[in-house]
Amino acid sequence: MSMNTVYPHLTIDEHGQTRVGETRYKVVQLAAEHYQHGWSAEELLRQHSDLRPEEVYSALTYFYDHHADMVAEMKQSLAAVESIRPARHFSRDELLKRKASQGT
């Protein structure tokens, strides 16, 4: 028996991204804050005061219903960012020289 879950506070935009209603928030963004930073639903509500509790809980429900796919999407996004971010490793001496050249 197949069950289709309805998420009344979520929509899918023209790019196929699941969003919280008509807001700017992607579910994957809220899920990442929850998953990677350990934020509870209450903390998400504090950080995003324009969201209602039912929207946050709906987003978290969607996250747990699609956990493997969403975690994979988070990892893929992080890998994409890391691949274009230049490696910037400076030695202590290089940092001190830079600070001295700025006159501070």
Instruction: Read off the CATH number of the domain in which 92 is found.
Output: 1.10.10.10
Q: Residue holding tokens 């830079």?
A: 98
For 30, the domain range is 10-101
Query: Given this model, what pLDDT does residue 84 score?
Result: 84
Query: Given this model, what pLDDT does residue 30 score?
Result: 98
Query: Given this model, what pLDDT does residue 104 score?
Result: 60
Q: How far is the CA of 83 from the CAs of 33, 77, 80, 87, in angstroms?
A: 21, 10, 5, 9
Q: Is residue 70 part of a domain?
A: yes
Q: Is residue 86 part of a domain?
A: yes
Report how many domains make up the chain: 1
Q: Is residue 4 part of a domain?
A: no
pTM for the predicted model, two decimal places: 0.74
What are the residue ranges in the chain where pLDDT is below 50?
Answer: none
Q: Is residue 29 part of a domain?
A: yes
